[in-house]
Amino acid sequence: MATAFSVLTDTLSRSARTSRIGVAKLLHDDAPTLMTRGYGFGAAIWDRARTGARAVPMRLLGRQALLVRGAEGVATFYDNDRIARHGAMPAFIQETLFGHGSVHSLDGAEHRHRKATFVDVAYEDAAVEALKPLLEREWRAELDEWIAGGRRSAYDAAAGALGRAIMHWAGLPGTDDALTRWSARMAQIVDGFGAPYSPSFPLAAANRAWSDRHARKLIEAVRAGELDAPEGSALRAWAWHRDEGDELLPANLAGIELQNCIRPMVAVARFVAFAAKELHDRPEWRDRISASVEERGGVLVDDPVAVAFAQEIRRTAPFVPVLPGWATEDIEVDGATVPQGGRVVLDILGTNTDDRSWERAGEFDPSRFLGVDDYEAIETFIPHGGARVETGHRCPGEKLAIAGLSAAAAALSDPRVRILGTGLEVNRRRLPTKPASGGVVRPAAAGAAPAKCPFH
């Protein structure tokens, strides 16, 4: 297996050769800034631009590029007639996180055709409603475990709870323990994909290979009649999905897309860790969520205050800082240009916290989302991508993610548990990131759990 460093350097070298640039120009590339600044990348690049600019030129992986933000940037980036996705994501990210040949790398009619299955499986209201009882059950179990003295962090609890819920929802077989183990593998893939300089990257690649093999076997078992796939399930949809030529997808690729219905929910565990941090730092919101849940009879899912809180978490703590695409023609945004063949890079964090798009953009205030049902209509709210789900690249599992995250916020706000203030610091240079401890949760009552020997 290639080392993480060799994968990164090979990507840089191929890009440099393709663009016919020299070593001197490569040294002025902004890719190292992304690797070293992480979520501060956009701010570092915007420092070059005039105040309030919507676009700024840069160089990324050996090519001219344009960093864009705000409504203008979103409109440009999601214009499928001018921006393409295939090959825009660095190979070490595409292959590890999304999988080879996945929908994320497609364009045009091929993308729309495959995306339609994701929409049918994950985006329709009936699909979202089917997940909610599973979320209620899993988060209720995690809450009971914490009250009884359980010591899982908010992050670890979320990786298991959200993973089990979404896998049962998808129709996957297996005991809860087996599904929890697969969820842990997927959580590690998410943790390691963006750190090619770290030992976590080759581990993510290994877990990717294991997951691909396991998912492929599930697809093959369904096709052979050895495994029943429930009607309307993601497992059934991808086992029998046909491409534009009416051919079944190769089993490995169908398994990859099955995982792309599941892994994003496991990734929400990182948002849950941020929710734990913000609930600790803002006890008034914890009290508001708790009171609202109690008023609704103790139901964790669909609480409107918890949903608003979840939306503000997603706005301020996005999964990735930027997304890349190719310019299929010369592009101009706010007076800045990039030629055909260059990259257009959407600043996700810079758009979600843009002063021209949001009132009090730098403040954490969930009340901005209270009573907001059509969040997709907010064109500068793009934590799961922008534009239309059906025709663009916005994630069709966004409603599932909101349901899972808001249920977690409701569970974490229960007065019978407390969130400790230790380990809540965030390394914003690492991609992806989360509070260091994942959010330590303990029973609220003093002495509710026996102290453990520090040497055992």
Cα separation, 414 vs 123, in Å, equals 29
* CB contact set of 301 (below 8 Å; sequence gap of 6+): 132, 135, 136, 139, 403, 406, 407, 410
The closest alpha carbon to 425, from 267, 270, 269, 274, belongs to: 274
Distance CA 150, CA 142 (A): 8
Look at residue 102 and tell me if it is in a domain: yes
| Residue 122 DSSP one-character state | I
Average pLDDT score, the chain: 91
In this prediction, residues 336-353 reach a mean pLDDT of: 97
Q: What is the pLDDT of residues 225-250, one digit of tens each?
A: 999 999 999 999 999 999 999 999 99
Residue 229, in any domain of the structure: yes
Q: Is residue 305 part of a domain?
A: yes
The two tokens of residue 301 are: 């899912």
Who has greater pLDDT, 106 or 360?
360
Domain hosting residue 152, numbered range: 4-443
Total structural domains within the chain: 1
Written as one string, the DSSP assignment of 191-206 is: HHTT-TTSTHHHHHHH
pLDDT of residue 89: 83
pLDDT-derived band at 27, boundaries 50, 70, 90 = low
**Is the confidence at residue 135, as pLDDT, over 80?**
yes
Residue 456 lies inside a defined structural domain of this protein: no
Q: What average pLDDT does the segment 76-84 reach?
A: 94
Structure confidence at residue 300 (pLDDT):
98
Are the beta carbons of 204 and 262 closer than 8 angstroms? no
3-class DSSP state for residue 206? Answer: helix
Q: Are 391 and 112 in contact (CB under 8 A)?
A: yes
448 lies in some domain: no
- Domain harbouring 177, CATH code: 1.10.630.10
pLDDT band at 18 (very low <50, low <70, confident <90, very high): very low
Structural domain includes residue 450: no
Closest to 83 in 3D by CA, of 372, 284, 345, 286: 345
Q: What is the pTM of this model?
A: 0.90
Residue at 180 is within a domain: yes
The per-residue pLDDT for range 268-303, each reduced to its tens digit, is: 999 999 999 999 999 999 999 999 999 999 999 999
> pLDDT at position 176, please?
97
Say if 29 falls within a structural domain: yes
